[in-house]
Amino acid sequence: MTERRWSAEEERYRAPAWLDRVQRRALLLGVFAALLSVVGALLSPEHFFRAYLVGFLFWIGIPLGLFGISMLQHMTGGGWGLVARRVFEAASRTLPFLALLFLPLLWGRRSLYVWARPEVVAESELLQHKQPYLNEPFFLGRALLYFGVWLLFALLLSRWSLQQDRSNDPHLHRRMQILSSLGLVAYMLTASFASFDWLMSLDPAWFSSLFGIHFVVGHGAAAFAFLIVWMRRLSGTEPMADVVAPRHFDDYGKFLLAFVLLWAYVSFSQFLIIWSGNLPEEITWYVHRQEGGWWWLGIVVFALHFVLPFFLLLSPALRREPARLALVALPVLVGRWLDLHWQAVPSLELHAPLLHWLDIAVLVAIGGLWLAAFLWQLKRRALVPIHDPHLQEALADA
């Protein structure tokens, strides 16, 4: 397919040239870290796979969260999301790439999931009982279903949005709204089940019904933190300098505040329910995470993902200043990654060192490659949806 000529209106919002430079650097860093990770994988496959699981879950949470937010914005409207819609869509279009990055997990399934090891299942009555759900073909089938649903909604929305740029068809606005209402429900359900499959089943004896929403809320927090960091960079130069205003950042800050609050609320609710019940099959999950360094890591997660951003984001002056807001968003991203690490690793090996060098290498590898894919997609369209009926009121100078 040949590249279509851009209209003058689209040209006005073409991505700035410095994105190429960042994309190249991200790709280089990603490839370098990936090579390092491959070496690590050969030396110590177990550490590699657990680092890969955490890294993968961290990075997929950002595009999934942005995809969810884009559907939310289609339904509610609001200038904050209109000026960021192209960031949402570019992130959504990286989901096929993340589906490819899921493949190494299938390769490492026996290293990660005890229920996938026939010799362990043969000796455990509990695992045999859970086998109708926790078995390899069904696990793969469900993963295909999750990605299928995400790709269907994400790519359709992204396509209609591009059509809107080109054709100015007024019906597309309503069509995207209707699709989003279905997609949001589908996303909540599939992402919840994905969290049960990929993360909760690491400890197949343990269960929590709040786990799914905890995972999805984590996506929301990570997505808004990422959005703040990127909108800040994009708003530094033309064309986005005339589009994004302090009031938009104020909204992003409020959303981030809401999501860190919700995260703390769900995290604590899960803990309180299990702590009150005090049942052996549930409480051990928390008992293990109180041992040694895990206790301290848990406190660090709570501080980075709740205490610090909560108090700082209360200030309206801070929320309206992109540079300071981005400084608050970064610790939330670190907290999100450590939260996933804290949830995953003690289920696999309790006396593991808190961090392994591979944890960082794999995180940077997936992140660099994903960021390059994201920027590549971001450049392919005008940075604002030029024919959205509400665009004029959303722009910074309006």
Partner 1 sequence: MAQEKLYGVMAEFDRAEQLIEAVKQVRSHGFKKLDAYTPYPIEELQHALGHEKSLLPRLVLLGGIVGGVGGFLLQYWSSAIAYPLNIGGRPLNSWPAFIPVTFECTILVAAVTAVLGMLALNGLPMPHHPVFNVRRFALASRNRYFLCIEARDPKFDAAKTAAFLWSLNPTHVAEVEV
Is 311 among the residues that bind partner 1 (CB under 8 A)?
Answer: no
Is 310 among the residues that bind partner 1 (CB under 8 A)?
Answer: no
CA distances from 74 to 45, 256, 379, 388, 391 (A): 43, 19, 22, 11, 13
Is 278 among the residues that bind partner 1 (CB under 8 A)?
Answer: yes
Q: How far is the CB of 324 from partner 1 (least distance, A)?
A: 19
The rounded distance, in Å, linking the Cα atoms of 319 and 314 is 8
Nearer to partner 1, 311 or 357 (CB): 311
Q: How far is the CB of 286 from partner 1 (least distance, A)?
A: 11
Is 276 among the residues that bind partner 1 (CB under 8 A)?
Answer: yes
Q: How far is the CB of 247 from partner 1 (least distance, A)?
A: 9
Among the residue ranges 98-106, 267-275, 318-326, 351-359, the one whose residues contact partner 1 (CB under 8 A): 267-275
What is the DSSP secondary structure assignment for residue 78, as one 8-state letter?
-
Report the residue from 32, 102, 160, 271 that binds partner 1 according to the rule CB under 8 A: 271
- Count the residues of the shown chain that bind partner 1, applying the rule CB under 8 A: 6
Q: How far is the CB of 276 from partner 1 (least distance, A)?
A: 7
Tokens of 62: 């950002």
> Helices 171-198 and 45-76, interaxial angle, to 10°?
150
According to CB under 8 A, which residues from 170 to 209 bind partner 1?
none
Q: Which residues of 208-244 are buried (b: 16+ CB within 10 A; e: fewer)?
A: bebbbbbbbbbbbbbbbbbbbbbbbbbbeeebbeebb
Among the residue ranges 122-130, 271-279, 358-366, 384-392, the one whose residues contact partner 1 (CB under 8 A): 271-279
Nearer to partner 1, 320 or 324 (CB): 320
Report the residue from 22, 182, 272, 299 that binds partner 1 according to the rule CB under 8 A: 272
Q: How far is the CB of 272 from partner 1 (least distance, A)?
A: 6
Count Cα atoms within 13 angstroms, Cβ side, for 138. 10
Residues contacting residue 178 through CB under 8 Å, at least 6 positions apart: none
Is 268 among the residues that bind partner 1 (CB under 8 A)?
Answer: yes
Is 299 among the residues that bind partner 1 (CB under 8 A)?
Answer: no
Among the residue ranges 48-56, 81-89, 172-180, 269-277, the one whose residues contact partner 1 (CB under 8 A): 269-277
Q: How far is the CB of 125 from partner 1 (least distance, A)?
A: 29
Report the sign of the C-alpha dihedral through residues 64, 97, 341, 110, in that order: positive
Terminal Cα-to-Cα distance of the chain (whole angstroms): 37
Q: Which residues of 315-354 are buried (b: 16+ CB within 10 A; e: fewer)?
A: eeebbbbbebbbebbebbbebbbbbbbbbbbbbbeeeeee
The rounded distance, in Å, linking the Cα atoms of 375 and 91 is 9
Nearer to partner 1, 2 or 276 (CB): 276
> Is residue 120 within 8 Å of 208, Cβ to Cβ?
no
**DSSP 3-state of 364:** helix
Report the sign of the C-alpha dihedral through residues 278, 279, 285, 287, in that order: positive
In terms of phi and psi (left: phi > 0; alpha: psi -120 to 50; beta: otherwise), the region of 126 is alpha
The rounded distance, in Å, linking the Cα atoms of 124 and 115 is 9
Q: How far is the CB of 315 from partner 1 (least distance, A)?
A: 10
Nearer to partner 1, 250 or 339 (CB): 250
Count Cα atoms within 13 angstroms, Cβ side, for 33. 24
The rounded distance, in Å, linking the Cα atoms of 33 and 221 is 26
Nearer to partner 1, 195 or 267 (CB): 267
Is 275 among the residues that bind partner 1 (CB under 8 A)?
Answer: yes
Q: How far is the CB of 345 from partner 1 (least distance, A)?
A: 24
Q: How far is the CB of 301 from partner 1 (least distance, A)?
A: 17
According to CB under 8 A, which residues from 86 to 145 bind partner 1?
none
Is 152 among the residues that bind partner 1 (CB under 8 A)?
Answer: no
Q: How far is the CB of 312 from partner 1 (least distance, A)?
A: 15
Among the residue ranges 63-71, 230-238, 270-278, 301-309, the one whose residues contact partner 1 (CB under 8 A): 270-278
Among the residue ranges 119-127, 128-136, 214-222, 265-273, the one whose residues contact partner 1 (CB under 8 A): 265-273
Residues lying near partner 1 in the complex (CB under 8 A) are found at: 268, 271-272, 275-276, 278
